[in-house]
Structure 1
Amino acid sequence: MKKTLPAAIALALTAGLAAAETTVQSCNRSVTFDAPPARAISNDVNLTEMMLVLGLADRMVGYTGISGWKTLEEDMRAGVEQLPELSAKYPSKEVLVGADADFFFAGWNYGMKVGGEVTPETLAPFGIQVYELTESCAHIMDRDKASIEDMYADLMNLGRIFDVEARAAELVDGYRADLSAFASGLDTGEPLRVFVYDSGEDTPFTAGLYAMPTALIEAAGGVNIMNDFDKSWGTVTWEEVVERNPEVVVIVNYGDVTAEQKRAFMMSNPAFADLEAVKNDRFVTLEYVEATPGPRNIQAIKTLARAFWGE
């Protein structure tokens, strides 16, 4: 005779199984996790720092995309000493599958390219689920301009995925309180016109409407002169920069060309001699990991605000 569970017990077990599932929004996808990932990989320094501040190093089998361009912040390095860098730049599908990963935290142009070999769709057959960096969603869908809320959303979603939601909420609440206290003591004026100089001499590569620096600049009391540039990051013309006459230039520091070399290029080029930022030598440097979505956005806002308005 077939035995059946009492209805109350069966209902409790069913509820328990349902509770174990977690669904989060990742760009234009809803992604459901039956259990927290145990063999995660993150791409890029800022995404890796998000994993580390949530205490998830023991859920990771490695990381990718750091040493080929950037370096992990020194005070975060200890968190990944035991983890291998599986690829110096963007990982191949074979790298991720070979590491027996079950989760990839990446973004569009942060480890994945539209139409590339590594996407949520190409990794799904291998049991690798993907959570996409919110800021990067602009590459594949319509969305609002960048916001510090994007970074908070990523931390909270990672908290849900890995069942450390209380830790994520504590971090986000702390970041909000920190910025609120800082802003209350800030004496600002009319928003300053700001240009983000990432790289390039013939044509500048800069942050547009959907890139995190736009949000950081606004939080610090400025306005990105390229906030009508309908992209995340991309190339514009120097003529546009000159026409919009920035009062401050934010230099993103990474790669082979140093921040000081970028500043020297602008200061010494006669074409920029009449820019307010050049005439007044108003340059401020953000490290790559500060200018891209991650925990160090909080310090970046403070750095910008102090440069805009003084101590």
Structure 2
Amino acid sequence: MVGDCMRVKVLSIVVLVLVLLCIAPSVVYGEEVLKVKDAYGEVVEIKVPVKSIVTLAPGIAEAIWFLGAEDELVGVTRFCNWPSELVELIKVGEVKVIGGIVDPNIEEIIALKPDLVIATTMTPRDVVAKLRELGVKVLVLPHPTSIEDIVDQIRLIARITGRVEYGNKLCGVLEKLCGVLSNVTSERPRVRVYFELWYGPIWTVGGANYMNDVIELAGGVNIFGDTNTAYVSTSDEEVIKRNPEVIVLCRGMGYRFTPRDVVERPGWGNIDAVKGLRVYVLEGPALDALYRYPSPRVVLAALYLLAYFHPELTCDVYARLIRELVGATFNATVLGEKVTSLRQEVERIKEVYSGKVSELEKQLGELRTRLEKEVKIREELQKEAQFWQLLAIVMVVVLVLLVVVALARRRRS
């Protein structure tokens, strides 16, 4: 009887152990094996924490830096230009530049022998396939459809680098920033916004895009937010029909159109944004912040847009954000430094953009004045041309009459 009880206990313990093994993460020699389905449906098995990483997108490198895992970075693209600490690591050769996002140097990547390459869908699929053929483990992050997706990607990178605690705290900071912005802008009416990524043909931001969230966070509503795609190709007529109150031109990656170009487009003069001189350009650090997913800086892009959408709220929001960031050190040295960098970036944005809106409005006002003068000159020239045309017609008619009279007299004689 006692023997049977012992057998039952032993069997129960064995079953319990087997169940725990089934539900627990895979472990190989003390390392957790993380299984992640990437943007292309490929299940990538990653032994974490990863010790050496090559990134094929600057936003991923920034996220790794924010998590305090820059020591694991061995290769980045030539587009990594922030923060200054990461740029310095590149300058001294501790982190190698391995080419671009779409044209990375495969030989240099292989020479670095990374445990993992992290890319986005911006990197061509054939490049990813080539790396995998050569035995390089590649994880391709999908294009985020929301700010929540970006936060999830930061948490994933935190898990990959063994910085789960920092990742949770950093995401907590971002959620606080979003909360401050959301609370302030929710008290104001939302402005209709058109985001121009390209013209000829027109490409803009759709509803299934994290940039749509950034627009809403800044107190705007994307006029193409009702679509279910990340990007939308549309027409001049459709933009005019949807009548945005604010137009934002994203000047990067070859886009060089200006507010003047927009004002001069046929029919665009009837748009409220053009009538109200609210055509703005997003470029430099502001555009970098917007495009650098999954970097925490994406949230700061909303600050730039806030200056365009609701300039009257800007000072109050900056003050609140800086207060939040000053108190968000968590007594963690590494994260404290990163949060301080975020605060410094907010202060820099405040300094740079405090007079930006009035300056742009002044420039647009001058542009409108010049255009009005040009219109008046054209109207005067047109009137003058019409006068001379009419005079020419009268002269021709008179000449014809004189010829007719002369012929009539000749016949009589």
Contact 1:197 1:249 in 2 (8 A): yes
Residue number in structure 1 paired with 2:66: 53
Q: Secondary structure at the match of 2:139?
A: strand
**CA shift at 1:18, angstroms?**
6.0
Q: Aligned partner of 2:251: which letter?
A: N
Counterparts of 2:95 and 2:71 in 1: how far apart (Å)? 9
Note if 1:77 corresponds to 2:90: no
**CA shift at 1:176, angstroms?**
0.7
Q: Aligned partner of 2:213: which letter?
A: A
Q: Which has the higher strand share?
A: 1
Counterparts of 2:208 and 2:110 in 1: how far apart (Å)? 31
Contact 1:246 1:275 in 2 (8 A): yes
Identity %: 21
Counterparts of 1:104 and 1:158 in 2: how far apart (Å)? 12
Note if 1:35 corresponds to 2:31: no
Counterparts of 1:77 and 1:234 in 2: how far apart (Å)? 34
Counterparts of 1:211 and 1:205 in 2: how far apart (Å)? 13
Q: Aligned partner of 1:269: which letter?
A: R
Counterparts of 1:291 and 1:244 in 2: how far apart (Å)? 24
Counterparts of 1:15 and 1:49 in 2: how far apart (Å)? 29
Higher radius of gyration, 1 or 2: 2
Residue number in structure 1 paired with 2:308: 307
Residue number in structure 1 paired with 2:32: 20
For residues 176 and 89 of structure 1, do their structure 2 counterparts lie closer, same or farther at Cα, with a shift above 3 Å needed? closer
Contact 1:20 1:34 in 2 (8 A): yes
Counterparts of 2:226 and 2:163 in 1: how far apart (Å)? 37
Q: Which has the higher helix share?
A: 2
Contact 2:48 2:159 in 1 (8 A): no
For residues 83 and 15 of structure 1, do their structure 2 counterparts lie closer, same or farther at Cα, with a shift above 3 Å needed? closer
Query: For 2:143, which of 135, 147, 162 is the aligned residue?
Result: 135
**CA shift at 1:178, angstroms?**
2.0
Q: Aligned partner of 2:182: which letter?
A: A
Q: Which moved more, 1:292-301 or 1:223-232?
A: 223-232
Contact 1:57 1:80 in 2 (8 A): no
Residue number in structure 2 paired with 1:208: 206
**CA shift at 1:53, angstroms?**
1.4
Gaps of 5+ in 1: 1-6, 137-145
Contact 1:196 1:252 in 2 (8 A): yes
Q: How does 1:36-185 map to 2 (within 5 A)?
A: 36-64=49-77, 66=79, 72-73=81-82, 75=84, 77-81=87-91, 82-90=94-102, 91-108=104-121, 110-111=122-123, 113=124, 116-119=125-128, 121-135=129-143, 146-185=145-184
Q: Secondary structure at the match of 1:106?
A: strand
Residue number in structure 1 paired with 2:277: 281
- Across the aligned residues of Structure 1 and Structure 2, the Cα RMSD in angstroms comes to 2.9
Residue number in structure 1 paired with 2:335: none
Counterparts of 1:254 and 1:79 in 2: how far apart (Å)? 26
Residue number in structure 1 paired with 2:369: none
For residues 73 and 205 of structure 1, do their structure 2 counterparts lie closer, same or farther at Cα, with a shift above 3 Å needed? farther
Counterparts of 1:48 and 1:237 in 2: how far apart (Å)? 36
Q: Secondary structure at the match of 1:118?
A: helix
**CA shift at 1:217, angstroms?**
1.1
Q: Secondary structure at the match of 1:88?
A: coil
For residues 249 and 47 of structure 1, do their structure 2 counterparts lie closer, same or farther at Cα, with a shift above 3 Å needed? farther
Q: Secondary structure at the match of 1:235?
A: strand
1:148-205 Cα shifts (integer Å, max 9, x gaps): 01110111000111111111111100111122133333354443221111123x2222
Residue number in structure 2 paired with 1:143: none
Gaps of 5+ in 2: 1-13, 314-413
TM-score by length of 2: 0.60
Q: Secondary structure at the match of 1:209?
A: coil
Counterparts of 1:60 and 1:127 in 2: how far apart (Å)? 19
Q: Aligned partner of 2:61: which letter?
A: T
Contact 1:147 1:212 in 2 (8 A): yes
Residue number in structure 2 paired with 1:141: none
